[in-house]
Amino acid sequence: MEKKNNNPINSNFIDDVKVIIDNARQNAVRSVDFCRVQMYWNIGKRIFEEEQEGKDRADYGSYLIKNLANNLIPEYGSGFSVRTLEQSRQFYRIYPIANALRSQLNWTQYRKLIQIDDPDKREYYELESVNNGWNGRETERQINSQLYERLLLSNDKESVLAIARKERIPQTPQEIIKEPMVLEFLGLERKAEYYEKDLENAIISHIADFLLEMGNGFSFVARQKRILLEDDEFFIDLVFYNRLLRCFVIVELKNDKLSHQDLGQLQMYVNYYDRCEKLPEENPTIGILLGTSKNDTVVKMTLPEDNKTILANEYQLYLPTKSQLIKEINKIKTNIKEGNP
């Protein structure tokens, strides 16, 4: 009879071995992805060099790529189409130094980056993709949601880039939190017939995407956090913690225009967390009121003049267009001139 083992393996030991295996698998995938990046870079370099040989001939570049694709596709497949070869050439032109390529980024991400003409904007998405471990889908989503432009609505370009370069740590919530917030991933229709509970449920179902939209350093703490003030019961919609700002962040959701009553309720929640939850070494709690629209003058008159912890932000259930963003930028500039928040 087989002797029973009365000394089970330590669970921490098993977990450690699993982590080693998972890390090795992830590194193997990244290694393959980066080899693909290097392949397209080298192809782009070779195309560029060959083009220079025939640069005096009209349309030589397009002729060269078209014929190269015709020779490669039968043997290697559609991954070497005219479009892909043109992207490879552009990739080499924008990133001419091989050692500057980042092994954390894959070809899908680089294809999105080379479509950005502004070098500062391109550098921002490149750095943030690395800093936050974004995959190709997440990088594309942040570019499409115009994250960079939304941050510039309340920050100067130098501070935005300095944070991405890790030259400084964010000091204010405006340096992390965008306005408007873009919540297209929730899948809610552009109608008023949904309730705040629907919005909250959708956020919880897509919490990873919501944390990505919130910004760097956020972690989820609680949903419908119950607080009891004497005999009165209140429930805070969402509570987060931001490790960069070192503070709690309370989010209240509204499916309509923000009111002064909403701001007053949020202020009470912020006061509660400051007085009853936060540790002495932590920074004051931040409150974010999310609604479909707001009256900036009402917000200004409701909040103290030295307010630094309450944000009244709008959200959108769809990706903004460039024209919408320009309109929002002009609105912000007008408010600044008039002294509005």
Per-residue pLDDT tens over the stretch 275-289: 999 999 999 999 999
What does the pLDDT average to over 62-74?
Answer: 89
pLDDT of 322 > 80? The answer is no
pLDDT of 59 > 80? The answer is no
The answer to whether 44 and 92 are in contact (CB under 8 A) is yes
pLDDT of 292 > 80? The answer is yes
Q: What are the backbone dihedrals phi and psi of residue 222, each rounded to the nearest 5 degrees, phi first?
A: -155, 155
Give whole-number Cα distances, 329 to 37, 105, 123, 246, 290, in Å. 36, 31, 22, 29, 19
**Confidence class of residue 39 from pLDDT cuts 50, 70 and 90?**
very high
Domains of the chain, earliest start first:
11-105 (no CATH), 172-337 (3.40.1350.10)
- Give percent of the chain above pLDDT 90: 50
> Rounded to 5 degrees, what angle do the CA atoms 71, 73, 76 make?
110
Q: Name the average pLDDT for the chain.
A: 86
- For residues 38 and 63, the model is more confident at 38
How confident is the model at residue 305, as a pLDDT?
83
CA distance 215 to 210: 9
Strands (E), 197-307: 218-229, 232-242, 247-253, 286-291
Cβ neighbours of residue 203 closer than 8 Å, sequence gap 6 or more: 183, 186, 210, 238, 253
| Helix 119-131 and helix 157-164, axial crossing angle in degrees, nearest 10 | 30
How confident is the model at residue 20, as a pLDDT?
74
* 313 membership: H or E segment, kind and range: strand 310-316
- What single letter denotes the amino acid at residue 264? G
- For residues 272 and 13, the model is more confident at 272
How confident is the model at residue 279, as a pLDDT?
95
Cβ-based neighbour number of residue 185 at 10 Å: 19
- Give percent of the chain above pLDDT 70: 88
pLDDT of 8 > 80? The answer is no
Burial label, 270 (beta-carbon count in 10 A; 0-12, 13-18, 19+): buried
CA distance 65 to 75: 16
CA distance 242 to 252: 16
Rg, the chain, Cα only = 25
- 230: its two tokens: 């004497």
Q: Which of 191-195, 270-274, 305-309 has the highest mean pLDDT?
A: 270-274
The answer to whether 120 and 147 are in contact (CB under 8 A) is no
What does the pLDDT average to over 88-111?
Answer: 95
How confident is the model at residue 97, as a pLDDT?
96
How confident is the model at residue 62, as a pLDDT?
79
- The β-bridge partners of 249 are 240, 286
Polymer length of the chain:
341
pLDDT tens digit sequence for 141-197: 999 988 998 898 888 899 999 999 999 988 888 888 888 888 888 888 755 556 788
**Confidence class of residue 323 from pLDDT cuts 50, 70 and 90?**
confident
How confident is the model at residue 190, as a pLDDT?
59
Strand order in the sheet with 286-291: 181-182, 310-316, 286-291, 247-253, 232-242, 218-229
The answer to whether 315 and 338 are in contact (CB under 8 A) is no
**Confidence class of residue 211 from pLDDT cuts 50, 70 and 90?**
very high
pLDDT of 294 > 80? The answer is yes
How confident is the model at residue 340, as a pLDDT?
53
Cβ-based neighbour number of residue 317 at 10 Å: 18
pLDDT of 4 > 80? The answer is no
The answer to whether 129 and 109 are in contact (CB under 8 A) is yes
How confident is the model at residue 114, as a pLDDT?
97
What does the pLDDT average to over 328-336?
Answer: 60
CA distance 166 to 102: 16
Query: Which one, of 245, 251, 310, 311, lies nearest residue 283 by Cα?
Result: 245
